[in-house]
Amino acid sequence: MDLSRQYGLFVHGGFRAATSGAAFSVSNPATGEEVCTVAAAGVEDVSAAVAAGGDAWPEWWSRPAVERAGVLTAVAERITAERERLAWTETTDTGRVISETRMDVDAVADLFHYFAGVVRSDEDGLKRHDPQQMSMIVREPFGVVGAIVPWNFPFLISGWKLAPALAAGNAVVIKPATLTPLSLLTLAEITADLLPPGLLNVLPGSGRECGEAILDHPGIRKLSFTGSTEVGRHVAAKAAARVIPATMELGGKSANIVFPDADWDRAVEAAAMAIMMSQGQVCSAGSRLLLHDEIHDRFLSDLTDLVAGIRIGDPMDEQSRMGPLVSEEHCRSVEEYVSLGVSEGARVVTGGTRVSGFTAGAYLAPTILADVTPAMRVAQEEIFGPVLVTQRFSSDEEAVTIANASSYGLGGAVWTRDISRALAVAQAVRTGTMWVNDYHPVPSGSPFGGFGASGYGREVHRTSLDAYSQLKTIYVNLDREPYGWYRS
């Protein structure tokens, strides 16, 4: 597949150059080679995209729900038909192994199918209060939604926002990260004949210029952001200042809790998958492994053996299970955290160094830090790489206390055959998702979002429709007699 061309901004159903003529290059994390150049949106381009969305959404919203559902279904089918192209582009852009990016493409197609069903079944309500009065509850779109997505799962997270926003009747102006814009631009390209011009506008560009312009534009009536907690606070403040709603899916430092009666082999493998999938660049990764004293040493030994054998290689290789980190700069940040952990008293059990044999790409060995205490920075801060920190506990209460000793609350898991213990712990941990004897699945129809510093709002569920629409109540008085309030 050939990406060796300049991508424009996608506005009003077609590609165009940035008003300023600015562009930036996109590189393959696995090879370091430049893949293509992409136009860089500025303030004027954001205004053009918002205007296009403002023109498009009223007609889109006026269509019957069954018609909008049909378009969403057609988008889902187009995504499935272009599965290999999209997965290849996502892997080229992010460095994630192609076996994972294929799963992302399938998940986004399923999500469009899901919201096609949701929008058909979501009917306005009619309520009769008494024989002379009734009210209608009507759901209306905001109009133009501004969305900003991160570099780690650009295609998947874009789907999480686009499907419900479009289903609710909105137009969308969406900004991908400058590191990974290609799969979203490809999605716009392959669905251009399905969506009305202006309904989907894709604006690659810097956060400082393009991102800020989206946050500040008065035509944007709803914001949806996924990214770091630091930037999320800024986005939330901007939304609050303008008194518009925002959905915020931010960072995480999730606890994966293993009890002595856990299914051993499955728990060991899941502990590795929870942090090493996508090179640990996952907001809900199980980055804190909490092991009961009775099993700590044996579990850590078996996990170390498994992790040390993970096949690291070309992300296009079907057999690879880990690829490079997204950039050299990010890899250096992760390495600094490993050094910090050691300085705090943690012990490197395995990894912590670059993988030899690669002439390009930031390949970092899967890393485990043991002897970690809750107060250490490596136990509190999001490293966002293939670095697992392990902690001990001796009771259910202590496990919950350690798990909750974090400002974040996005994911987590508990491993035990005791269903009463599993549910008690799952309810006690303050987090948006708790898996029981599993890690990572987020199927369509399961709300995903965070507590605390991990943000607010939920995605991937029918309640997402509420986040992209507003309710209006229309009261109807059927009584024709005068009120008699001022008449004697």
pLDDT at residue 157 tops 60: yes
Give the model's pLDDT for residue 120.
Answer: 83
CA 311/CA 56 separation, integer angstroms: 48
Q: Which residues are known to be catalytic?
A: 249, 283
The answer to whether the CB of 343 falls within 8 A of the CB of 294 is no
Residue type at 464 in one-letter notation: S
Say how far apart CA 118 and CA 461 lie, in whole Å: 9
Please check whether residue 24 is in contact with residue 40, taking contact to mean a CB–CB distance below 8 angstroms. Answer: yes
6-250+454-473 maps to CATH 3.40.605.10: yes
The Cα–Cα gap between 440 and 368 comes to 19
Q: Where are the domain boundaries for CATH 3.40.309.10 in the chain?
A: 255-436
pLDDT at residue 69, as a whole number: 95
What pTM, to 2 d.p., does this model score? 0.94
* CA pair distance 129, 111, nearest whole angstrom: 37
Instruction: Give the integer Cα–Cα distance in Å for 280 and 284.
Output: 9
Top-tier CATH class for 255-436: alpha beta
The pLDDT of 21-41, averaged and rounded, is 96
State the average pLDDT over residues 197-226.
98
pLDDT tens by residue, 228-282: 999 999 999 999 999 999 999 999 999 999 999 999 999 999 999 999 999 999 9
Give every CB contact of residue 466 below 8 A, 6+ residues apart in sequence: none
- Residue spans in the chain of domains classed CATH 3.40.605.10: 6-250+454-473
